[in-house]
């Protein structure tokens, strides 16, 4: 057997709301380790909304998320988690626990994970139907969904880490490396392939990988514009790490990680917007991106100052 881990983020560039980095881990046969998972699961999983015809859609989160509508993201995320046995996720706090995510939210009055009921848009019986068919499709393909990891970085932590690292890419890599490390513990002596969406314009990653794999030099290395690939041996285990441009379009585990990251970020934004809009009549919710994010920051400035809310908890640096 072998394992395949996909990693992607949501929210690296906005000025409001958290950065979220996620990983999804699958077990498959060694011969299918590099296979197209969409093809293996094409009987019940599609990478496109058009023509899905009742199948579950796993794709780049930007293609699935519509403003105010989390339906497609929830269908995919909940169906896979249900397959893993996480069947009693009733709120955001339980979701974070299922994802092995630790979030220090005590200084943010708008974040109360236990108060946000889940799912927000879909029915649980729909999740059960999707999960049953998905599990059968994976079993037929000789594969299984092993689990997921999530690293939410709230604004205060983001700002502190950016001050320390002075680089968004390094801030992001710290979370990516933790997810890889956790997956390595699960794999034990089995081979692991890691697929990661490329980190900005970087072409070489061997120095970064030393943080996770120690001083082990790669047996093979190829740095390119579209794919940078590295192969290591950690004991008897082979570890391949692929940094792929537009990875969410090339590998299903990366696409699912993209969906998970976007979904969790949007849940945090739901709580932020609800808290401020209840206290500030006429305020429009924000998605957190630059123009709209700064509009939200400007419109809430006096309110935040009057209520002693520090800028460092709401406005991102960088």
- Checking if the pLDDT of 200 tops 90, the result is no
- Checking if the pLDDT of 218 tops 70, the result is yes
Q: 3-class DSSP state for residue 36? A: coil
pLDDT in tens, 109-167: 999 999 999 999 899 899 999 999 999 999 999 999 999 999 999 999 999 999 999 99
Give the range of the structural domain holding residue 58, as residue numbers without chain letter. Answer: 2-270
Alpha-carbon Rg of the chain, whole angstroms? 20
Evaluate whether residue 40 is within a structural domain: yes
User: Whole-angstrom Cα distance, residue 50 to residue 40?
Assistant: 19
The pTM for the full model equals 0.96
Query: What is the rounded average pLDDT of the residues 277-301?
Result: 96
Query: What is the rounded average pLDDT of the residues 47-72?
Result: 90
- Checking if the pLDDT of 80 tops 90, the result is yes
Evaluate whether residue 284 is within a structural domain: no
Q: DSSP characters for 176-223?
A: HHHHHHHHHHHHTTSEEEEEEE--TT----HHHHHHHHTTPPPSEEE-
CB 27 within 8 A of CB 144: yes
In this structure, what token pair is assigned to residue 216?
């082990």
Evaluate whether residue 208 is within a structural domain: yes
- Checking if the pLDDT of 196 tops 90, the result is yes
The least confident of 78-82, 92-96, 208-212 is 208-212
Which residues, listed in sequence order, are joined to residue 233 by a DSSP beta bridge?
238
- Checking if the pLDDT of 51 tops 70, the result is yes
Evaluate whether residue 261 is within a structural domain: yes
- Checking if the pLDDT of 215 tops 70, the result is no
Q: Average pLDDT over the chain, rounded to whole?
A: 93
Evaluate whether residue 306 is within a structural domain: no
Burial of 222 (0-12, 13-18, 19+ CB in 10 A): exposed
The least confident of 3-12, 45-54, 119-128, 203-212 is 203-212
Evaluate whether residue 44 is within a structural domain: yes
Q: What pLDDT is recorded for position 175?
A: 96
Position with higher pLDDT, 273 vs 226: 273
Evaluate whether residue 158 is within a structural domain: yes
CATH classification at residue 77: 3.30.420.10
Evaluate whether residue 295 is within a structural domain: no
Domain count, the chain: 1
Query: What is the rounded average pLDDT of the residues 158-182?
Result: 94
Measured at the alpha carbon of residue 50, what is the angle toward residues 49 and 55, in degrees to the nearest 5?
Answer: 55
The least confident of 195-199, 253-257, 285-289 is 195-199
């Amino acid at each position: 057997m072998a394992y395949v881990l996909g990693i992607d983020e949501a929210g690296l560039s906005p000025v409001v709301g958290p950065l979220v980095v996620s990983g999804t881990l699958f077990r498959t046969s060694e011969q299918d380790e590099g296979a197209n998972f969409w093809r293996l699961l094409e009987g019940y999983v599609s990478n496109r909304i058009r023509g899905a015809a009742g199948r579950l859609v796993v794709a780049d989160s930007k293609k699935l998320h519509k403003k105010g509508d989390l339906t497609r993201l929830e269908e995919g995320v909940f169906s896979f988690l249900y397959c893993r046995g996480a069947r009693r996720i009733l709120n955001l706090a339980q979701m974070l626990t299922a994802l092995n995510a630790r979030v220090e939210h005590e200084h943010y009055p708008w974040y109360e994970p236990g108060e946000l009921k889940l799912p927000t848009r879909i029915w649980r019986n729909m999740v059960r139907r999707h999960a049953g068919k998905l599990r059968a499709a994976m079993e037929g393909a000789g594969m299984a969904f092993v689990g997921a990891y999530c690293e939410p970085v709230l604004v205060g932590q983001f700002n502190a880490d950016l001050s320390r690292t002075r680089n968004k890419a390094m801030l992001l890599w710290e979370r990516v490396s933790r997810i890889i490390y956790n997956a390595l513990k699960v794999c034990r002596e089995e081979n692991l392939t890691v697929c990661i969406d490329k980190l900005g314009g970087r072409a070489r990653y061997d120095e970064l990988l030393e943080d996770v794999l120690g001083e082990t030099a790669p047996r093979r290395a190829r740095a390119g514009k579209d794919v940078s690939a590295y192969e290591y041996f950690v004991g008897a285990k082979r570890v391949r790490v692929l940094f792929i441009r537009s990875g969410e379009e090339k590998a299903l585990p990366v696409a699912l990680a993209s969906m998970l990251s976007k979904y969790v970020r949007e849940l945090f934004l739901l709580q932020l917007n609800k808290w401020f809009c209840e206290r500030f009549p006429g305020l429009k919710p924000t998605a957190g991106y630059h123009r709209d994010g700064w509009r939200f920051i400007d419109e809430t400035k006096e309110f935040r100052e009057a209520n002693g809310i520090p800028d460092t908890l709401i406005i991102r640096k960088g």
